[in-house]
Amino acid sequence: MQSEGPKILIQRLLPEAQIPRYAHSGPFGDLAADVYAAEAVTIEPQSTVAVRTGIALELPSTHGALVEDRSGLAVRGITTLAGVIDPGYRGELKIVLANLSREAQVVEVGQRIAQLRIVERIEAMFEETDVVNETVRGEGGFGSTGR
């Protein structure tokens, strides 16, 4: 039996706005809901724009959201930036899109432009120490496990 997730209230700010929704649900459903553009924009090569969704979210205090790329756009060089939505934010959700390609990219009204992943909010305790414990990985970072 699948548990019910948190209730996210949505305020439609523009008539063109669409409510986020999952393309696939159930036991093998999507991790994130599709988010839609409420305005048409052209993103010039190597530039960044904030695209209106026409919605505001009311997240419960226990949850936040992460904005993630859509693979169909990412393969064309369109990626999302600035993707953390705190539970206390009540303004319009705007999706920051960057065009990494060499060609202008057009976003249409109603187009799926990002995915919204709802996450549980955990407030960590950060404690300063003189040293951190060593692991097998050690200081290995970017590309340390091979390509």
Residue-wise pLDDT tens for the chain (147 aa)? 456 889 999 999 999 999 999 999 989 999 999 999 999 999 999 999 999 999 999 999 999 999 999 999 999 999 999 899 999 999 999 999 999 999 999 999 999 999 999 999 999 999 999 999 988 777 766 666 665
The answer to whether the beta carbons of residues 45 and 9 sit under 8 Å apart is: no
**Residues 24 and 30 sit within 8 Å (Cβ to Cβ):** yes
**16 domain-assigned:** yes
Q: Give the domain extent around 113.
A: 9-120
The verdict on residue 134 lying in a domain is: no
Rg (CA), the chain: 18
Q: Which two structure tokens, joined as six digits, stand for 53?
A: 């969704």
Residue 138 lies in a domain: no
- Nearest in space to 107 (alpha carbons), one of 53, 31, 26: 53
Q: Is residue 57 part of a domain?
A: yes
Q: Kindly state whether residue 143 falls inside one of the protein's structural domains.
A: no
Q: Is residue 136 part of a domain?
A: no
Number of structural domains found in the chain: 1
What's the whole-model pTM score? 0.87
**Is residue 145 a part of any domain in this protein?**
no
Provide the CATH number for the domain around residue 84.
Answer: 2.70.40.10
